[in-house]
Structures are given as structure tokens and as C-alpha cells.
Amino acid sequence: MWMSSIEPRGGFLAGQLLIAMPQMSDPRFSRAVIYVCAHGPEGAMGLVVNRVLDSFDFADLLEQLGIVAGDAVQAHLRVHFGGPVETGRGFVLHTADYRHESTLMVDEHVGLTATIDVLKDIVGGHGPQKNILALGYAGWGAGQLEQEITENVWLTAPASDDLLFGDDTTAAWERALKQIHTHVDPAWLAGEAGHA
């Protein structure tokens, strides 16, 4: 089921990446890189950008939705695990060259569209230049994400086109860590905050 609208809730982490710390206990988020799409007093919403669903095919999804795809369709478009919340809902994270009336512009570079129209535009050759399709999302209630960050569950980093839309999802976690510093060895990352 596709969302008919997304409630814009800008915030200080919207447009940033969350990088799971090595000691992440939830296997759904182990070595995850999440793009924060919305963050505000009510909570936060993001998409895991480095988990591809090998068992789910874009062409199959189009068929289920009754969208006729021509030969020029991006049949290679991979479907991502966006997160464990509402896994039947689809989201397209994309570059700002595409805008629909229902698009949430996360920042000046990235938008999020969750209506079937974006898939029709992709198939018709009028879609965004770069995009990922995700099923489900990661969500946090009010104050929950902030609490997890203070508990060293997540690191934050700036997003880049390469991390969001690149083909190499297997090394995205390591590449995201390197964006924080020229070289971060995961073994250096402690599970507890330091106290002076």
C-alpha cells in the first residue's frame, strides 16, 4: 500500500544519516545506514538505504500495482528494506530534479515521494534522475531518537549522493563512517559514552 501523503516535519536531523554503532543489538539495524527524512517534536522517520531486498523484484511490484512497464523501464531498480514499520508501504527517495504535489522536500537536494505517481513517472521516463525504492520505514516516537543517540546507538553524518543512491550498498556502512573522519576503525567505537 502506498502512502497518499507524508506529513512534513522538518528538524535538525532531517537530511542527515544515522549510522548504527557496531554494538547495535537489533539485527534489523545491524550495520544500517538510515537517511532521516523527517525529525521533529513528534518523532522521526527515516529509510534504511543500504539493505536491498533480494527476494523482491521491481518488475513484480509494478505488475502487482497494475503499472505497465515498457522496454525502457528501469527493470534493474532494486527494492530496499526501508525499515520494519509498515513494510507494505512504499517510498521513493530521490534527487530534487523530480517534484510531485505530494513530494516532501527533505532538503534542497533530496525529496521523498510516497504515491504511485512517482512509479508511473519512473516507468514513463519522467521520474527522478537518481532514486531508491524502499518498502517500510524506520520510525521513532517523541524523544526516542534523541535518547538512542545519547546512548551511543547511532552516529550522525552528512548524507551524500553516493551513499544514498550508489550501487554498492554492501560497503555503505564503512563508507559512511569514513565520511565522519578520513578513517574510522569500527573497533575504536566504544559501546558506552565516556565520562570525565
pTM: 0.84
Structural domains in the chain, sorted by start? 16-188 (3.40.1740.10)
> What is the pLDDT confidence band of residue 194, given thresholds at 50, 70 and 90?
very low
Which residues are 134's β-sheet partners?
A: 80, 91
The 3-state DSSP class for residue 118 equals helix
Q: What is the mean pLDDT of residues 156-172?
A: 91
**Residue 59 has what pLDDT?**
79
Which cell numbers in the block locate residue 183? Answer: 578513517
> What is the pLDDT confidence band of residue 7, given thresholds at 50, 70 and 90?
very low
CA distance 43 to 139: 7
pLDDT in tens, 53-111: 988 778 778 888 888 776 555 556 789 999 999 998 999 999 999 999 999 999 999 99
CA distance 34 to 42: 18
Which residues are 4's β-sheet partners?
A: none
CA distance 100 to 111: 10
